[in-house]
Structure 1
């Protein structure tokens, strides 16, 4: 080919590519738009992102007196031009909304130029067609009670294991995707074990599952894991994040607190499969429940209410008591909205919500339910045991632990106190706080729930027990959806609604609305049974898929929205520690009890607080306390445990329903240098050296214990070659230095060079990406 011809061909090809790109960014064709435009799924997201800041629920920020989230306002004559209307059903050319988003006049175009917001051609076309079709409004999807749709028809019924799969497969088939095959037994066992108990399977469990060829082999494993006491520990982690559990009060003094008996109760409740409605009602209003026959003082109900006393509490002198008391009530109110309703109620603290239909009055009516607690803003000063809990509180005696509260792991005979919820005998007035300021009280309001969600039943008491009844009313559109979504997130890495804490106008739309609603209704129909829901999820073909991703699937669905493969992501921070301790044999499996202080770099606490109280200096624990599960590591709010923080654990400052997931070099450095990881490597290496087996067998066993599968021949060869190199490189002095980590004793008469060499092999396996990944 001549140069001129090649150049011309290149130019033409480039022009065609450019024209194709231009075509792709032009006004969408008829085929690209839905036949029937949905306000909820097509129009409302556009309005929420581009319009409602100025034309939404917030009356103080509203422009031109126009609300586009309200059809009454949107169809009414415009205040500034009575002859015009924002929307005229069926007539885009007469609708000011359409005229203003398509005008070339920069002084009139909407959104205004100074907002730096623009509508894409597709968004403009969607609005045009919506108006043509009558501009029909719909109640926000999350405020409509869920309905249990019939199972959808699918082509590949043989793949389906349970109802979940019908909904997932339907979406996949609509998008031209096909599901992955089931994961191999080893990877599936590791996945379900990490998901249900937060620990890797034992070699005995691996061998048993691999040898069991019965049709229900997997279900037998699932049932055993659900009965395992470690299930409650694993499932409690997400609840501790949500409840902002910590072992210190927060703020500058950050004194010690004893809320861990409440954590013991959570583990106990989850293990005995307490129904979700009861689980939450006890925590919201246990002090209002009648006393059980075997508990005349109502102590277990009362202990459960520690949930709403986990928030930060100041002990600093010179503060304004009412300011901090209001902040405590605000914390409880915001948690209720985020954790149970999946709504950003906190946005209405100072003014009407800008996007969701909640007024500031709605916020303070809900606030009133939590405003009657018999507490003060500042109590005592940092000091002795009397400050470990703040009034109102309950005392737990040794007799209580022997009888009513047997699930509490109380290791000594000292007195134990826990902060709980009890209300005043008289009703404290609740005011709307102007601009949200504690010292600017406005109108008095009564306790009430947002009507837009569900009117508060007049037969319910106007206290926290009545609020719990409202929350679990079968007509409440949010409670079951929000909980199901949180549990789904625990197993798939993200919820069906990606914005777990925001089901409002600014939140993401559900990726599979029919599945979300089916699961929500099914949960309610089966008495809010948590373990049943969990088993449904892990027994599904959707969950059991391989995590292998082809280039085609990665291109078609990079975020795995349609679940045509199993998700692949790193396990939570606490479970990183648990995997290391469990696989090495160091893990102490005692459940519950006070939090512990394992290895930590020196000097972190000393410069971070006022220098008063038990937590002014870090005094490391010893013995078995060094080898407890990650969930029992003491959390000091001002200086959270560094290993957990680096792996994205919650600081527990506030309610958190979804952890961030980052990848930083610090995570690799932890696995390479953390004393717990190095000590576990040494201990496992010593156990392997004590066995009468060949080097390859030792490496294979270490690999299986840690990665939970049999290594390939190539992997064993690489690790064995590394071991031989380390044997040659190490001498007794260097070996002693490498082994000088951790407090667990080294077996006497053991060859230190061999131990140090094998320790490095084990540490290498701990540093494999696959070790900490759920695949």
Structure 2
């Protein structure tokens, strides 16, 4: 669209008919240029480094980069502005947010003519459909590109592979704050001595006083209770729970509530879901052939159970990275550890990939990414094709880790049907699992063999019937018919006595003889460099951490290195995640990026204090959360203060509470809780497990894997890639193909319209009205008050009560007493649609 309109402007000097369109185009182009200075989220930069830079490096940089011997057409594609401004022709290659098919970039990747008198040099090789889709996604998300800054490098960065450890100025690299071990901090002594109730408060208040600011007043008891309930269990307090807390004036009243919530089984459902965002939990492969993962629910239940049991975080990570290699007490624990490794198996997979080597290295890349970004907050996978552009992570470090995961078998399932070129296996579990699997495999082979015999006999019979001299062939036909009948009978008998299948789980196991991997130059499986021994990141040397065992993959030692007390990142990253979910922003606001492109901590001393306390308390998530929510800073109101706002408009110093929108799951669960329909019992297995193996929308009907109407908590909804439940999609659910520590938060008209028109929301409003009518001895005013308490955790103001009563009475006056329930349902529906219902103060 942009390119075509600009051509018209230049060639026809803007006729009267196209003047308006031309001006709009130029305006859009100028906006795009202004937008080129915008900042991008870490996950968008990571997408560029993983998916886009390798394409550009392979096909474009030789002629269109600062390192090109001759810059063709004056066009540079090693920075974002080059795509927007173009080369000497002035024609943009791609504009932010455009559709790929309407860009010059698309014409190039499709090898089409872009100028009348010139054909663009052909690409090194045709791009795959996946690479073209990646380019399209990149253009649509406005061409995210990293800032032009890099890590500290010695004078001559071009070194042979054998000398790669001299690439970086390691002393300077390790001086970066995130690569230094947390140090015990002495809590400051702020001037205002009566405000702080813990060391957390002293660190916060000292920063505020240094900026000549004061915290706002505390939140009301009711507001604080609602905040606690949603933060800790993702549900609103009931009217009875509100009354009990408001009437409890004991000094330990708040502590009692906190301890009750931490002990609640709903705690694991709430905080387990936070971790599943990071673990990119999903129940299908996504991508071109979206096959289901019918056994993924086991990992979901494992995560929820782990948070409820307050499993030490370091143990939690070790189980997910190397549970199959850990010592176990009994069979039950062994199987729990196997299920934990589903963390490495449930990523998205391109089952359409023909080349097994590329498919395998894509899985390895995804495993490196999730293992390091989830625990360390570093984008290590950006070093797959080249040294990391911003952090001291050479390509050799990437392939040192790749050797560990390349020596691992990933068992994710998916049958070899419907065009699946990369079918996988699963891990059998339960009593006599291996024997059961062997019997089942034999049964399947026998059925398949008989099936072939049956088909052969049926084909012979059909051929005989077509022959003209059928009478002469009667004996042969009878023989074939008998063979068909007997084979059918044998198949029927086999199926009747089919052996029981074992339970299955997704996960990983050490596979065969472990080996080291050669560097893949530019990430290409066909262009190999030197072999790199299996190992860890050179920027984080931990002398006490064990080295990978040569007879194993090295995952167990990697897990111990990741969570070692001398690792400067593991504890910091996790306490920062906890802080983010409790305050709406992390101490490091880029929660998934602790590297040089991420933000520095707003309170570095506090972050170190929390990290050390976390480890000293046995890596207990519950103890860390308890300490934070009992601090004074957590109890602040979200009130405005113009003077503070002028000094700190983003509230980095936490002079007030951040007003936060509820996540999709909490919002949906709150509606169910208010209506009285919420089923707090954990859902058994998953809808996807019941639907079984299949290619979504290509053999497996969508209706079989949708569950929008369930009354269980939203954490049990099916998470099928590219087919999320409608409610979750409407309210910024985490993209299940990506590592998401911080969800997007949009406010768009479609969300308000969804709450007004969704059959689910309307049904819950009606259910809430009927539930209120069943309350004993309740008049209309009492019902209205109860509706407000259920929905907003507070009674209505006098004005709100008067308006609600007037509305209700007006409806009844017009339509009669039979409209009482309908009027009450409209009120409940209106409460669900309010901003106060959606937001947490």
| TM tier, smaller | 0.7 to 0.9
Secondary structure of residue in 2 paired with 1:158: coil
Q: Which residue of 2 aligns with 1:520?
A: 611
Q: Which residue of 1 aligns with 2:823?
A: 757
Secondary structure of residue in 2 paired with 1:443: strand
Q: Does 1:269 align with 2:306?
A: yes
The aligned runs of 1:556-635 (5 Å cut-off) are: 556-596=647-687, 615-619=700-704, 626-635=710-719
Deviations 1:237-287 (A, max 9, x none): 111111111111212331221210111111111101111011111111111
Q: Does 1:678 align with 2:757?
A: no
- TM superposition shift of 1:207: 0.9
Deviations 1:385-417 (A, max 9, x none): xx997445546899xxxxxxxxxxxxxx98542
User: In structure 2, do the counterparts of structure 1 residues 297 and 566 end up closer, same or farther at CA, with 3 Å as the change threshold?
Assistant: closer
Q: Which residue of 2 aligns with 1:554?
A: 645
Q: Separation in 2 of the partners of 1:296 and 1:634?
A: 26
Whether the aligned pair in 2 keeps the contact of 1:583 and 1:706 (CA below 8 Å) is: yes
Whether the aligned pair in 2 keeps the contact of 1:274 and 1:529 (CA below 8 Å) is: yes
Q: Which residue of 2 aligns with 1:233?
A: 269
User: In structure 2, do the counterparts of structure 1 residues 394 and 432 end up closer, same or farther at CA, with 3 Å as the change threshold?
Assistant: farther
- TM superposition shift of 1:612: 5.4
Q: Separation in 2 of the partners of 1:137 and 1:420?
A: 35
User: In structure 2, do the counterparts of structure 1 residues 550 and 654 end up closer, same or farther at CA, with 3 Å as the change threshold?
Assistant: same
Secondary structure of residue in 2 paired with 1:152: coil
Moved more, 467-476 or 230-239: 467-476
Whether the aligned pair in 2 keeps the contact of 1:394 and 1:419 (CA below 8 Å) is: no
- TM superposition shift of 1:138: 7.6
The aligned runs of 1:107-506 (5 Å cut-off) are: 139-257=175-293, 258-292=295-329, 294-295=330-331, 298-316=334-352, 319-375=354-410, 380-382=415-417, 390-392=425-427, 394=429, 416-455=503-542, 457=544, 459-462=546-549, 463-506=554-597
Q: Which residue of 2 aligns with 1:123?
A: none
Moved more, 370-379 or 680-689: 370-379
Q: Which residue of 2 aligns with 1:772?
A: 838
Q: Which residue of 1 aligns with 2:808?
A: 723
Q: Separation in 2 of the partners of 1:388 and 1:251?
A: 15
Q: Which residue of 1 aligns with 2:93?
A: none
Q: Separation in 2 of the partners of 1:586 and 1:377?
A: 35
Deviations 1:107-139 (A, max 9, x none): xxxxxxxxxxxxxxxxxxxxxxxxxxxx99981
Secondary structure of residue in 2 paired with 1:241: helix
Q: Separation in 2 of the partners of 1:137 and 1:332?
A: 25
Q: Separation in 1 of the partners of 2:535 and 2:608?
A: 26
User: In structure 2, do the counterparts of structure 1 residues 396 and 223 end up closer, same or farther at CA, with 3 Å as the change threshold?
Assistant: farther
Whether the aligned pair in 1 keeps the contact of 2:414 and 2:423 (CA below 8 Å) is: no
Whether the aligned pair in 1 keeps the contact of 2:291 and 2:414 (CA below 8 Å) is: no
User: In structure 2, do the counterparts of structure 1 residues 184 and 371 end up closer, same or farther at CA, with 3 Å as the change threshold?
Assistant: same
Deviations 1:406-434 (A, max 9, x none): xxxxxxx9854221110113114412111
Question: Which of 641, 646, 649 is equivalent to 2:725?
Answer: 641
Q: Which residue of 2 aligns with 1:748?
A: none
User: In structure 2, do the counterparts of structure 1 residues 611 and 588 end up closer, same or farther at CA, with 3 Å as the change threshold?
Assistant: closer
User: In structure 2, do the counterparts of structure 1 residues 552 and 615 end up closer, same or farther at CA, with 3 Å as the change threshold?
Assistant: farther
Q: Which residue of 2 aligns with 1:738?
A: none
Moved more, 647-656 or 450-459: 450-459
Whether the aligned pair in 1 keeps the contact of 2:203 and 2:606 (CA below 8 Å) is: yes
Q: Which residue of 2 aligns with 1:739?
A: none
Q: Separation in 1 of the partners of 2:397 and 2:258?
A: 44
Q: Which residue of 1 aligns with 2:785?
A: 700
Q: Separation in 2 of the partners of 1:63 and 1:441?
A: 20
Whether the aligned pair in 2 keeps the contact of 1:372 and 1:428 (CA below 8 Å) is: yes
Moved more, 188-197 or 448-457: 448-457
Whether the aligned pair in 2 keeps the contact of 1:54 and 1:61 (CA below 8 Å) is: no
Matched pairs, number: 612
- TM superposition shift of 1:304: 1.2
- TM superposition shift of 1:651: 2.3
Secondary structure of residue in 1 paired with 2:510: coil
Q: CA RMSD in A?
A: 3.2
- TM superposition shift of 1:303: 1.4
- TM superposition shift of 1:694: 2.1
Whether the aligned pair in 2 keeps the contact of 1:322 and 1:377 (CA below 8 Å) is: no
Q: Separation in 1 of the partners of 2:333 and 2:273?
A: 29
User: In structure 2, do the counterparts of structure 1 residues 416 and 560 end up closer, same or farther at CA, with 3 Å as the change threshold?
Assistant: same
Whether the aligned pair in 2 keeps the contact of 1:323 and 1:377 (CA below 8 Å) is: no
Gaps of 5+ in 2: 1-145, 160-165, 434-499, 689-693
User: In structure 2, do the counterparts of structure 1 residues 689 and 771 end up closer, same or farther at CA, with 3 Å as the change threshold?
Assistant: same
Whether the aligned pair in 1 keeps the contact of 2:226 and 2:236 (CA below 8 Å) is: yes
Deviations 1:43-93 (A, max 9, x none): xxxxxxxxx97774498998999xxxxxx9999xxxxxxxxxxxxxxxxxx
User: In structure 2, do the counterparts of structure 1 residues 61 and 682 end up closer, same or farther at CA, with 3 Å as the change threshold?
Assistant: farther
Gaps of 5+ in 1: 1-51, 66-71, 76-134, 399-412, 598-608, 732-750
The aligned runs of 1:649-664 (5 Å cut-off) are: 649-664=733-748
Deviations 1:159-179 (A, max 9, x none): 112111000010111111111
User: In structure 2, do the counterparts of structure 1 residues 442 and 457 end up closer, same or farther at CA, with 3 Å as the change threshold?
Assistant: farther
